[in-house]
């Protein structure tokens, strides 16, 4: 599978495409241009969303954020799997704003990603799992306070 092994540039392009679509308030069908049909996202050891239904629920849970910014600052590890998939770990800075209160959510997130080629050879995200956080502001601490239940959008908690 070495000849089909994604370059570092191709991996970064796949991550940029994922965030570009995610930040556009997409439908699940639009997201499927950058994720696999069995896409999984969520929190390591906590709540996860899986498959098309999970993708729809994930998008509903995060709906309403605007002015999103996700900047992958570093690829911490890369593992080329015998299946042809690539597993990477990243550190990224994020910023999200939630109207109408204009609450800002900022911090650093650590993710494990699984990237896979589709039948046309395009590199897509098969999984994006949050491993942890650092430098969260108070709003982000609240949003991610209960990883076992997903995103906490209740401002009272």
Query: Region 64-84: what's the mean pLDDT?
Result: 95
What confidence category does residue 155 fall into, taking pLDDT thresholds of 50, 70 and 90? Answer: low
Q: What is the pLDDT of residues 105-116, one digit of tens each?
A: 999 999 999 999
**Considering the domain 2-143, what is its CATH architecture?**
Roll (3.10)
- Tell me which residue of 131, 26, 157 sits closest to 77, measured CA to CA: 131
**What residues have CB less than 8 Å from 7, skipping those under 6 apart?**
none
- pTM of this prediction? 0.93
Question: Structural domain boundaries of the chain?
Answer: 2-143
pLDDT tens-place string over residues 9-40: 999 999 999 999 999 999 999 999 999 999 99
Neighbours of 1 (CB within 10 A): 11
């Amino acid at each position: 599978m070495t000849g089909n092994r994604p370059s570092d540039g191709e991996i970064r392009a796949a991550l940029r495409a994922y965030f570009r679509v995610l930040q556009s308030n997409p439908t699940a069908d639009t997201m499927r241009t950058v994720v696999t049909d069995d896409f999984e996202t969520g929190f390591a050891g906590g709540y996860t969303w899986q498959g098309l239904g999970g993708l729809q629920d994930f998008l509903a849970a995060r709906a309403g954020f605007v002015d999103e910014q996700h900047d992958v600052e570093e690829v911490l590890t890369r593992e080329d799997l015998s299946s042809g998939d690539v597993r990477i770990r990243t550190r990224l800075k994020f910023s999200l704003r939630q109207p109408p209160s204009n609450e800002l959510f900022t911090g650093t997130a650590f993710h494990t990603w699984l990237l896979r080629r589709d039948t046309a050879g395009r590199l897509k995200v098969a999984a994006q799992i949050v491993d942890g956080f650092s430098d969260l502001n108070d709003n982000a601490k609240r949003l991610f306070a209960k990883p076992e239940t997903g995103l906490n959008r209740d401002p009272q908690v």
